[in-house]
Amino acid sequence: MKNINQDMGGRIRALRLSRDMTQEQLATALGLSPQAVSKWETGATLPDIQLLPELSELLGVTIDGLFSMTDESRMDRIENMFWNVRFLDRRDREETELFLLEQRERPESRPRATELLASLYNRLADEYHEKAAPLAREALRLNPGSKAAHNAVFDAERGAYQDWNYVNHHELIEFYREVTDAHPEDIRNYFWLLDLLIADGRTAEARETAERMKQVEHSYHYEMYMGDICRAECDLPAALDWWKKMLRNPVGKRWVILASYADRMAKLCRYDEAVEYFRMAMPLRPEPPFTDCEICVAHICEIRGDYPGAVAMWEQALELGKKYYADEGESVDSILREIARLREKMK
């Protein structure tokens, strides 16, 4: 994707220079920072899809002419759109769906087009859930005795239903058994199957699956999942022993092992220990670093009522994101909304 980004960036730079525009002038016309234009031209990021009509007009070309896009580069842009746009407008949604449906008819593009089409539909479902959430909460406040309003809140915000017939995963487990049996050498398949088995309390089957996974690769995942199995069986001392063994396993990225242990401590509400290990993991991450650790610590701070601490961690995640990923778009805006929400609580 980097080479395609660079091709697009070079095209933007050439068109800008042909019109005797500086990066600052182009940025000002678009209401952006010069750094945003610089990142486009170096191939670090792509322009937000919503900017394309105005950008192409400023540079004197059509949108297709701006990017000279192949089908593959268009799919790259769609993937970028999923990360950088909060709500897809109707035109983008319809054009994207039609393009991906057409690409699915071509054998060479069918795998990626199918993945992107599934991502599109999941993305639209998430959008509707986000739109539904405040309405569902308002409905419940207006009618606190309404079971339908409670269901609307839980459906929109992934509430924790306890009805076994609603939350069990037997059909998905069967699918992942088929996938794992078809590709037993791919260790990642075992992760998804184990997560489902443990969530459903099917620990005997999970133990068998973990042993199969161990034959493929004895990484830290084996000790991690054995601990998860023991916790599901309500044997916390055994779970803690396994997770401590995970910390000593040399096979795996050290920061991921530390963060995985921290995650387990957070799930046990052992927040001090969780924060300690998340912070131990942070300086060990390779560049560009994932910001999960900062976000997890922010959640813990908020749970404890430490809103200034939560804001500080979100700001740290924002700084990393702007430095290594993008300084505009939904990845930035979503964090800014979290900070604004927390600052409102601090008043």
Under 8 Å between Cβ of 220 and 252: yes
Query: What does pTM read for this prediction?
Result: 0.80
Domain 2-82 coded CATH 3.30.420.40:
no
Q: Tell me, what DSSP letter sits at residue 285? A: P
Contacts of the segment 280-287: beta carbons below 8 A, 24+ positions apart: 281/254, 281/255, 281/256, 282/255, 284/254, 284/255, 284/258, 285/255, 287/324
Q: For 300-341, write each residue's pLDDT tens digit.
A: 999 999 999 999 999 999 999 999 888 878 889 999 999 999
- Per-residue pLDDT at 4: 55
pLDDT tens string, the chain, 347 residues long: the values are: 445 566 678 888 888 888 889 999 999 999 999 998 998 888 888 888 788 889 988 988 877 677 666 788 788 888 888 888 889 888 888 989 999 999 999 999 999 999 999 999 999 999 999 999 999 999 999 999 999 999 999 999 999 999 999 999 999 999 999 999 999 999 999 999 999 999 999 999 999 999 999 999 999 999 999 999 999 999 999 999 999 999 999 999 999 999 999 999 999 999 999 999 999 999 999 999 999 999 999 999 999 999 999 999 999 999 999 998 888 788 899 999 999 999 999 98
Under 8 Å between Cβ of 78 and 101: no
2-82 and 164-252 agree in CATH topology = no
Domain boundaries, the chain: 2-82, 86-91+100-160, 164-252
For residues 33 and 328, give the distance between their C-alpha atoms in angstroms, rounded to a whole number: 9
* CATH superfamily name and code, 164-252: Tetratricopeptide repeat domain (1.25.40.10)
